[in-house]
Amino acid sequence: MYLVTGGAGFIGSNLVAALSEGGARVAVCDRLGSGDKWRNLAKRELHALVPPEGLDDLLAAEGASVKAVLHLGAITSTTETDADLLLRVNFGLSQRLWRWCAEAGVPLIYASSAATYGDGSEGFDDDNALEALARLRPMNAYGWSKHLFDRWVLRRLEEGGPRPPQWAGLKFFNVYGPNEYHKLAQASVALHVFEQVREGGVARLFQSHRPDYPDGGQLRDFVWVGDCVAVMTWLLDNPGVSGLFNLGTGQARSFADLARAVFRELNLPEAIDYVPTPEAIRAKYQYFTQARMDRLTGAGYTAGFTPLEEGVGRYLRDYLMKDDPFR
């Protein structure tokens, strides 16, 4: 049995789908709320579905059958200001699962974040050295909570403390794809642009407030969610691989490139309005992110990553333009 925390969320539900389609038994720990988040799991047969407060009971009753823990559950909002809540959920629960996996001899794959890199001034190198992590300065409490756990893990390893037989922390970059609809404002730019174009025929992107970037020329490492799932399942198949790893494509693309891919797939003329970046986020707005991927490829991952135009096309054709957009 695989245990997926956050298994009803965006990346988590795509992982649950892949594991289930491969014939695995899957238990999910998550909250569903009162919206449509449940639909992310509606097509899957689950061994168990428990809220976070039921996790300890599940592990006590069925821990011996857990093959691996894939810990994707977290508060993921980059605008969350309750630092105590972030500390309790994103740091505390991760520590508990690390200790349980170490004691039970169970692999642990967990979600870190590219938000740990802050403004990118220290680069985007997934260096596993403690001193390298110490130089990073996340720009929000969410990124800090993820960074705190990464540093805690590497400190435990340096001190020779108990560890799972395999562990991997994945620094997800700008992920897009099906089952992200419950994220609302925190959903990907791909989804927002599609909805804007569908409703009014015009995409809205932020203006540039730097002379070295044109409007819409801000760059991100956009990664298709299926590629993220492929990396996680590869790790499960390669128990000798452990470490902190970036999970992007290694190629930054502009917001304008993404918008053009949407228009192209919809066979519509390009129409983009550039609006001022809100004052509240302008000073700390990132103009460039790009994952260094040589650490993952050096560990043996060879599958490659989906080009932006192909991923956007797949997202629209296979999901967003269907009556049922859920995976």
Query: Residues 131, 136, 141, 143: is their CA dihedral positive or negative?
Result: negative
Structure tokens of 191? Answer: 């989804």
Dist CA 116 CA 149 (whole Å)? 10
Dist CA 291 CA 249 (whole Å)? 7
Q: Which residues contact 57 (CB under 8 A, 6 or more apart)?
A: 50
Q: Distances in Å between the alpha carbon of 306 and those of 98, 215, 309, 313?
A: 31, 25, 8, 11
Query: Residues 216, 218, 219, 225: is their CA dihedral positive or negative?
Result: negative
Residue 151: enclosing H or E segment and its boundaries? helix 141-158
Query: Residues 231, 232, 236, 238: is their CA dihedral positive or negative?
Result: positive
Instruction: For the sheet with 167-172, list strands across it.
Output: 48-50, 26-29, 2-5, 68-71, 108-113, 167-172, 243-247
Is the separation of the CB atoms in 40 and 13 below 8 Å?
yes
Q: Which residues are catalytic?
A: 142, 183
Structure tokens of 35? Answer: 């919206």
